[in-house]
């Protein structure tokens, strides 16, 4: 292997590591932003027109469009109550695959809520993110989030980890 080939291989490996790190940082920015009621920057984690599809507390589902509908969600009374009570939206380390300027990630997320002097796990979900490299860096195209309620849909989302 020539020095040029070795340098090219190292550049490829470095780019892959940098992509994974940037995606991890992006996904892990979500919790502190929404838990501090920093709505506009949270909505801008997505590409314009991207979406967040999630399970509602009543069991239904909803898709919000980025950035405005997603940012507005953080002003909903239920979310404001969580923030004012004290909560932590946690993103577990996902499995990430990158293919050029597109990426996918599958992993869990949790919401921890404060109640008096104790903290408890309030919600657990599985997520499938699709992402895109943009001029501003990696951004979320779609976040598909399903509560870990034993449903076929949540199990199907978990199984996507084997496909990416």
CB 139 within 8 A of CB 46: yes
Secondary structure letter of residue 76 according to DSSP = S
Cα atoms in the Cβ-side hemisphere of radius 13 Å centred on 121:
9
Identify the weakest region by mean pLDDT among 6-10, 36-40, 56-60, 90-94: 56-60
CB 157 within 8 A of CB 125: no
Joined together, the tokens standing for residue 61 give 């589902």
Which CATH architecture best describes the domain 3-162?
Roll (3.10)
Among the residues of the chain, which ranges form H helices?
Answer: 3-35, 39-43, 68-73, 77-85, 152-159
pLDDT band at 124 (very low <50, low <70, confident <90, very high): very high
Residue range 30-49: mean pLDDT, rounded: 96
CA distance 84 to 7: 51
CB 140 within 8 A of CB 129: yes
pLDDT surpasses 90 at 59? no
pLDDT over 90, % of the chain: 95
Quote the pTM value: 0.94
Closest CA to 158 of 79, 92, 66, 86: 92
pLDDT surpasses 90 at 57? no
pLDDT band at 77 (very low <50, low <70, confident <90, very high): very high
E strands along 21-149, which residues? 46-55, 61-65, 87-91, 95-99, 102-115, 118-134, 137-147
């Amino acid at each position: 292997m020539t020095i040029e080939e070795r340098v090219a291989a190292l550049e490829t490996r470095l780019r892959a590591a940098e992509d994974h790190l940037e995606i991890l940082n992006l996904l892990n920015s979500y919790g502190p932003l929404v838990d501090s009621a920093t709505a506009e920057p949270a909505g801008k984690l997505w590409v314009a027109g991207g979406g967040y599809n999630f399970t509602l507390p009543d069991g239904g589902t909803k898709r919000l469009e980025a950035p405005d509908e997603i940012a507005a969600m953080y002003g909903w009374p239920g979310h404001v109550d969580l923030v004012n009570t004290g909560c932590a939206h946690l993103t577990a380390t996902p499995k990430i695959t990158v293919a050029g300027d597109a990426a996918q990630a599958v992993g869990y997320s949790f919401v921890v809520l404060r109640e008096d002097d104790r903290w408890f796990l309030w919600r657990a979900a599985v997520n499938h993110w699709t992402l895109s490299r943009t001029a501003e860096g990696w951004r979320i195209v779609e976040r598909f989030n399903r509560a870990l309620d034993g449903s076929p849909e949540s199990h199907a989302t978990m199984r996507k980890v084997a496909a990416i």
